[in-house]
Structure 1
């Protein structure tokens, strides 16, 4: 499970790129109860989402003419420059070279060989999100890619992740999960799924909610839609994939009791 013990390789930040940050902030306030806090003139329109006073995500304007609205998952690193070089060596793309975000940390924007975008975060004053796993916060990340097995070696080389396939049971198929280097089953933070036909590869953040059906209804009422209808996964929880009014996708889940 995710924790705020941000060892190298685990998700430590997630942000939304949107063509209308103010409207997107209102949308997610309605869906999750988040409040949006701009970081000031020096940060442009970028700001953080808070839930019960704790930072759980962030949002900012799109950059680049061909950019589309999407959530980006950031993985922790002790050295952004070294990790970016490892991405290039392993066959990925460095879309934005490492740069400092004031004194908060150092980041880079990257793409894996399957076409999924992600980012890395080398902490400075900001270690990462204030809260994960609890209601209204990030609880899991999932790579949706056209060649799940083909990207295993890439992420092993870049982050040292352990890749484990959970055996199929009577109801669900086998599922591959990621664990940070030197971690164990209790520190797994993400998984891999086959890409849906006609879609592009992406990392999908899952946000924990108290009631998945209610979150799906709120999203629809505010102009979003359900990409994957609500479903129950044995031993995991009740979940759905959502799209906001600008096309950015995330998932919601009400996890089964531990």
Structure 2
């Protein structure tokens, strides 16, 4: 895994909560062709995976980790609803479960610490049951702008920070494991989606969405051998780092 993208530009990480964390860490390090470290998970940390651990607080699977300046301010921007927070075992960090059941983790930057570099090896999409509601929720939580993709079959929206993509939000229907649920998908940026999918299938992963193009990337979505959803992505270099014009339409925060 050597391909890096400049299209998704927000300080972020990801973590995997799974029943067999050591085995899963070994699997992903092999799958992505990462040089093994002294213990399972060490190589994954070098590409932005904050940790592979057993589930806590009911959250499992791949979870995006977004960095913010102030946890209280971020959560305070949310309108009242059925969403909830769950404390983590790490100070300055909290899990946020939205009204549709999807989970992200927020981490606070240290006082005086400038934002870190964007993670060019991971990116994220949320498949939501109610796209406008999810867009309102996460644009509020992270203080982001919104752009929608004109005439998109999946009602695709992008969450933006000054034109730079933070994450996508869409609705997948008619696809097994996406019916009746809302879920975040963590993608690994790779040089070839097709080659990565072949390697994954040969090692026990199952394809949910075969390689296909979106407005900004080629991607595929799979289950790993333990049932955790993940994806591969190759962002189109010609798109540049920002969403500007073309088929993207800026929309207000009241989308």
**TM-score normalized with structure 2 length:** 0.76
Alignment match, 2:203: 222
Relative to structure 1, is the Cα distance of residues 74 and 97 closer, same or farther in structure 2, using a 3 angstrom cutoff?
same
- Give 1:113 deviation, angstroms: 1.3
Q: Distance in 1 between matches of 2:140 and 2:182?
A: 19
Q: Distance in 2 between matches of 1:251 and 1:221?
A: 15
CA contact (8 A) 2:14 2:63 kept: yes
- Give 1:257 deviation, angstroms: 2.8
Alignment match, 2:170: 193
CA contact (8 A) 1:144 1:203 kept: yes
Which of 154, 158, 166 aligns to 2:141? It is: 158
Relative to structure 1, is the Cα distance of residues 66 and 89 closer, same or farther in structure 2, using a 3 angstrom cutoff?
closer
Which of 124, 134, 140 aligns to 1:141? It is: 124
Relative to structure 1, is the Cα distance of residues 145 and 36 closer, same or farther in structure 2, using a 3 angstrom cutoff?
farther
Alignment match, 2:4: none
* Matched length: 227
Matches within 5 A, 1:82-97: 82-87=73-78, 89=80, 91-96=82-87
Is 1:117 the counterpart of 2:108? The answer is no
Q: Secondary structure at the match of 2:197?
A: helix
Q: Distance in 1 between matches of 2:97 and 2:74?
A: 12
Q: Secondary structure at the match of 1:120?
A: strand
- Give 1:245 deviation, angstroms: 0.8
**TM-score normalized with structure 1 length:** 0.75
Alignment match, 2:185: 204
- Give 1:97 deviation, angstroms: 6.3
Alignment match, 2:49: 57
Q: Could you tell which deviates more after superposition, 91-100 or 109-118?
A: 91-100
Deviations 1:217-251 (A, max 9, x none): 11112211111112234x53322101111111111
- Give 1:199 deviation, angstroms: 4.7
Is 1:132 the counterpart of 2:105? The answer is no
Relative to structure 1, is the Cα distance of residues 152 and 236 closer, same or farther in structure 2, using a 3 angstrom cutoff?
closer
CA contact (8 A) 1:145 1:195 kept: yes
CA contact (8 A) 2:193 2:220 kept: yes
Unpaired segments ≥5 residues, structure 1: 4-9, 40-44, 101-105
CA contact (8 A) 2:157 2:168 kept: yes
Q: Distance in 1 between matches of 2:203 and 2:114?
A: 33
Is 1:108 the counterpart of 2:100? The answer is no
- Give 1:130 deviation, angstroms: 6.7
Q: Distance in 1 between matches of 2:69 and 2:225?
A: 36
- Give 1:57 deviation, angstroms: 1.4
Q: Distance in 2 between matches of 1:241 and 1:231?
A: 10
Alignment match, 1:236: 216
Is 1:26 the counterpart of 2:12? The answer is no
